[in-house]
Amino acid sequence: MNRVRVILLNAALGPLDYRASKDTIVEPGSIVLAPLGPRQIVGVAWEPERLQAGEVEAARLRSLLHVYDVPPLAEPLRRLIEWTADYYLAPLASVLRMTLPSSSALDGARTIVEYRATGLVPDRMTPQRAQALERIGERQGLVRELALAADVSDGVIRGLIKAGAIEAVEVSVDDPFPMPDPDHGPPVLEAAQREAARQFVDAVRAREFAPFLLDGVTGSGKTEVYFEAVAEAIRQGRQTLVLLPEIALTEPFLKRFAARFGCEPVAWHSGLRQSQRRRAWRAIASGDARVVVGARSALFLPYRNLGLIVVDEAHETSFKQEDGVQYHARDVAVMRAKLEKVPAILASATPAIETRQMAEIGVYKEVKLPGRYGTAEMPDIAAIDLLADPPPRGRWLAPTLVKEMEVNLERGEQTLLFLNRRGYAPLTLCRHCGHRFQCPNCTAWMVEHRLVSRLACHHCGHVMPPPRACPECHEEDSLVACGPGVERIADEVAALFPDARTAIVTSDTIWSPAKAAEFVGRMEAGDIDIVIGTQLVTKGYHFPNLTLVGVVDADLGLSGGDLRAAERSFQQIMQVSGRAGRGEKPGRVLVQTHEPAAPVISALISGDAEGFYAAETEARRDAAMPPFGRLAGIIISSEDLTEATETARLIGRTAPRVENMAVFGPAPAPLAMLRGRHRQRLLVHAARSLDVQDVIRDWLGKLDWPRGVRVAVDVDPYSF
């Protein structure tokens, strides 16, 4: 008999031992199906010496039901999973879930049944059916996926199947992916690019851990340069993972990749259908998927033969996961590269202070590209002082900016207005009684969205129809929109330039790769004159005819006490500026601000990035803030306010006294209420040398709390 230790994919359970018949060898990393009470649960066999499990006598062990016919998770990945669970204080099972996204990917079936519209109109048409058919369009997927896409119940889809308006199709889930060709369309690199590429290519050949920071202004050719490293990995027959921050970014990236390598890479993100996910997962595990481009969740996949990891736009905040396992994909990527013994390239025009510091102390090797590729110059950045040059009442665009937009329109060049705020207005209030529309579940205002005509909470997704009258004082027509969102700026643009062709680019309008592709196509064809967008447009895109960028409110990110506020604003405005003048025509950037003298703004205008970063870094060092000190947040939440505050106080009172560590709070968390849960926070601040995780594990491990309370630790929190 063999005793096998298994981590089940259920965070509430510790490792359990099972029995395998004596002629079955269950290697560590094997994916198995195990009985648990009356249920069957997927799990992964692990080295017994690395995990404690409850003592069970051999005679009482239950037998494993099945060992899946997929390659076992390799040792470096097993170590990564342990490291992640340990570092971020998360259950092993929760980390494993990111490796094994669905049990259906594991069975050997070669096809999956999906559904799509036939074009037939059903005899009985209801509004729901009409909506379903309209929204499904050309889409194909499982019943559940179609129902979600169409925003109807599964029953409506099943009804349409019965009525013949939707039909079943068999989709193969093991068609091979095309093989990228490293020599399909190589660029001719400039000298500095060539030298940078050579270092990466050497590192890929060396098959050793080597972390790099690839630092160069927007448009300097960072992508072209790391593509050379990708080409080398392909030549070596090894896999590459490229992490990108946004799904909307993948589409232009895929096209560009195809131009360089002859076919698209394998994409991995939350928008995949189950059949696509299953096909990709199996190809990744077998090693057939040579280049995988993905969101942060692609980091934990079981690559068979990894040769290189690239994190593009490595400064992006969306690499920090804020739910579940609260990991930072940039940092885990470097750890994975270390365990897999491969190079990691972090590419950014505006690296995070943490990353710069690692380069500064020589842990990461910094590779710099000096300027933009070809004849393109960095754009001129100028400030518009909103006090000296104010927009008319009820408007947000200053006369100087409007004049420049007019010039641009006349020249037939494109303009981008940047405002990092979705919707029409961030706050709606009653002029009569002052009532403000707040989310019932969160400490957040309801944001008016006129395009879809409703108010929405950006934190929990709660929506309500736009009210006619004030719910408080019942006054009609008393509601006013306060402040601008992108939709409101779009209205202003339409009033100023009725003939201009505009597009709003936010996660509300660009919610799929296909939508992103459509937008890119229209921009490239010159069908758009003015884009109004949120941070979604600040990165990745390359539109040579875009020559003017207007930052509508540069002060927006600077309010609030967040230590990273200045850094983040600087990065965001640099990135959006980077969209201007990427081709032969020069670009210009106008930054609207009430505080032209603020350090961020003056650094942007003088182009003194180094000075700005140096001052920020010193401020962090003086306050022993990251990367010079460490932080961890402990979030205590409950649906019951008293329970949350009392538990938080109790946990706070039992804080251990440790040298080089201080515990602050409890205090209401930055979002004091989120999705119906009241949240309190304790903030742990410690010296770098201290193993904070160990202290916290010990501290919380001794405590109990009521069932309704959740305690989550956010190690290296992003905002604080």
439 labeled part of a ligand binding site? yes
End-to-end CA distance of the chain: give it in Å, rounded.
53
Q: Are 293 and 251 in contact (CB under 8 A)?
A: no
Q: Count of residues for the chain?
A: 720
State the binding partner of 629 from ligand ADP, Zn ion, none, CB within 5 to 8 A by kind: none
User: What b/e sequence results for 288-323 when a residue is b if at least 16 CB atoms lie within 10 Å of its CB, and e otherwise?
Assistant: bbbbbbbbbbbbbbbbbebbbbbbbbbbbbbbbbee
State the binding partner of 222 from ligand ADP, Zn ion, none, CB within 5 to 8 A by kind: ligand ADP
DSSP-derived 3-state class of residue 550: strand
State the binding partner of 220 from ligand ADP, Zn ion, none, CB within 5 to 8 A by kind: ligand ADP
In the complex, least distance from residue 212 CB atom to ligand ADP, rounded to whole angstroms: 14
Using the structure block, give the residue that is written with the tokens 């509430």. 12
Cα-flanking dihedrals φ and ψ of residue 641, to 5°?
-60, -45
In the complex, least distance from residue 371 CB atom to ligand ADP, rounded to whole angstroms: 10
Using the structure block, give the residue that is written with the tokens 């069975």. 107
In the complex, least distance from residue 558 CB atom to Zn ion, rounded to whole angstroms: 25
State the binding partner of 284 from Zn ion, ligand ADP, none, CB within 5 to 8 A by kind: none
Nearest to ligand ADP of 30, 220 (CB atom): 220
Q: Are 710 and 677 in contact (CB under 8 A)?
A: yes
In the complex, least distance from residue 240 CB atom to ligand ADP, rounded to whole angstroms: 16
In the complex, least distance from residue 447 CB atom to Zn ion, rounded to whole angstroms: 10
In the complex, least distance from residue 446 CB atom to Zn ion, rounded to whole angstroms: 8
Q: Which helix (H) or strand (E) holds 224?
A: helix 222-235
State the binding partner of 457 from Zn ion, ligand ADP, none, CB within 5 to 8 A by kind: Zn ion
Distance CA 598, CA 602 (A): 6
State the binding partner of 373 from ligand ADP, Zn ion, none, CB within 5 to 8 A by kind: ligand ADP
Q: Is 447 in the site for Zn ion (CB under 5 A)?
A: no
In the complex, least distance from residue 437 CB atom to Zn ion, rounded to whole angstroms: 11
Q: Footprint of Zn ion on residues 50-109 (CB under 5 A)? A: none
Q: Which DSSP symbol is given to 175? A: P
Residues that bind ligand ADP (CB under 6 A): 187-190, 193, 216, 218-224, 373, 542
- DSSP symbols for 446-474: PEEETTTTEEE-TTT--EEPPPSB-TTT-
State the binding partner of 462 from ligand ADP, Zn ion, none, CB within 5 to 8 A by kind: Zn ion
Q: Which DSSP symbol is given to 64? A: P
Nearest to ligand ADP of 220, 572 (CB atom): 220
Nearest to ligand ADP of 422, 582 (CB atom): 582
State the binding partner of 221 from ligand ADP, Zn ion, none, CB within 5 to 8 A by kind: ligand ADP
In the complex, least distance from residue 508 CB atom to ligand ADP, rounded to whole angstroms: 26
Given the DSSP bridges, would you call strands 427-430 and 2-8 parallel, antiparallel or unpaired? unpaired
482 labeled part of a ligand binding site? no
In the complex, least distance from residue 312 CB atom to ligand ADP, rounded to whole angstroms: 8
Nearest to ligand ADP of 10, 571 (CB atom): 571
Q: Is 455 in the site for Zn ion (CB under 5 A)?
A: no
Q: Is 439 in the site for Zn ion (CB under 5 A)?
A: yes
How distant, in Å, are the alpha carbons of 126, 136, 143, 172 from that of 115? Answer: 20, 10, 7, 13
Nearest to Zn ion of 462, 710 (CB atom): 462
In the complex, least distance from residue 188 CB atom to ligand ADP, rounded to whole angstroms: 6
Stretch that binds Zn ion, among 40-48, 397-405, 439-447, 546-554 (CB under 5 A): 439-447
- DSSP symbols for 643-684: HHHHHHHHHHHT----TTEEEEEEEEEEEEEETTEEEEEEEE
Nearest to Zn ion of 442, 470 (CB atom): 442
Q: Are 503 and 487 in contact (CB under 8 A)?
A: no
Query: How remote is the C-alpha of 651 from its chain's centroid?
Result: 31
Reading across the β-sheet that carries 239-243, which strands appear in turn? 266-268, 291-294, 239-243, 306-312, 343-348, 210-216, 365-369
Stretch that binds Zn ion, among 435-443, 480-488, 524-532, 688-696 (CB under 5 A): 435-443
Find the binder of Zn ion among 26, 67, 192, 457 (CB under 5 A): 457
| Residue 328 structure tokens | 């930072």
Stretch that binds Zn ion, among 259-267, 351-359, 436-444, 562-570 (CB under 5 A): 436-444
Amino acid making up residue 88: Y
| Residue 477 structure tokens | 């027509």
Q: Is 673 in the site for Zn ion (CB under 5 A)?
A: no
Cis before 627? omega within 30? yes
Q: Are 254 and 320 in contact (CB under 8 A)?
A: no
Quick one: three-class SS letters along 73-96? CCHHHHHHHHHHHHHCCCCHHHHH
Give the number of other CB atoms < 10 A from CB of residue 246.
Answer: 20
Q: Is 442 in the site for Zn ion (CB under 5 A)?
A: yes
State the binding partner of 441 from Zn ion, ligand ADP, none, CB within 5 to 8 A by kind: Zn ion
Find the binder of Zn ion among 235, 459, 594, 649 (CB under 5 A): 459
Size of the site for Zn ion (CB under 5 A): 7
Q: Are 507 and 536 in contact (CB under 8 A)?
A: yes
In the complex, least distance from residue 459 CB atom to Zn ion, rounded to whole angstroms: 5
Q: Is 438 in the site for Zn ion (CB under 5 A)?
A: no
Q: Is 462 in the site for Zn ion (CB under 5 A)?
A: yes
Nearest to Zn ion of 244, 446 (CB atom): 446
Cα-flanking dihedrals φ and ψ of residue 219, to 5°?
85, 10
Find the binder of Zn ion among 280, 460, 504, 634 (CB under 5 A): 460
457 labeled part of a ligand binding site? yes
Using the structure block, give the residue that is written with the tokens 């997704």. 461
Cis before 666? omega within 30? yes
In the complex, least distance from residue 216 CB atom to ligand ADP, rounded to whole angstroms: 5
Give the number of other CB atoms < 10 A from CB of residue 707.
Answer: 8
Nearest to ligand ADP of 249, 284 (CB atom): 249
Give the interface with Zn ion as residue ranges (CB under 5 A): 439, 441-442, 457, 459-460, 462
Binding residues for Zn(2+): 430, 433, 439, 442, 457, 460, 470, 473
Binding residues: 430, 433, 439, 442, 457, 460, 470, 473
